[in-house]
Amino acid sequence: MRENQPNPPVPIVTGITYAAITSRSRHTGIVHALLLDGSVRSFSENMNGNVWRALGSRSGGEFVGEL
């Protein structure tokens, strides 16, 4: 995707932001996410909300288990 493309499919953030940026996908029923170990995983739209939030928290101490 080019940055100067008119009407890009997702916003392009080029500066510091404190906004909540959510995940989205054009794949029905799943969203792909990059994890801090460099792996990319697919997550179901039916995933438990508490687990999803725990994956995105920093130093929260939540136990997520195996993915």
pLDDT for res 43? 92
pLDDT digits (tens, 9 = 90+) for 9-61: 666 667 776 767 677 788 889 998 888 788 988 999 898 888 888 887 777 77
Could you write out the three-class secondary structure of the chain?
A: CCCCCCCCCCCCCCCCCCCCCCCCCCCCCEEEEECCCCCEEEEECCCCHHHHHHHHCCCCCCCCCCC
Q: Point out which residues pair with 33 in neighbouring strands.
A: 41
pLDDT for 8 equals 60
Conformation bin of residue 61: beta by default, left when phi > 0, alpha when psi is -120 to 50: left
Global pTM value:
0.56
The CA distance from 64 to 18, in Å, is 25
In this predicted structure, what is the pLDDT of residue 14? 74
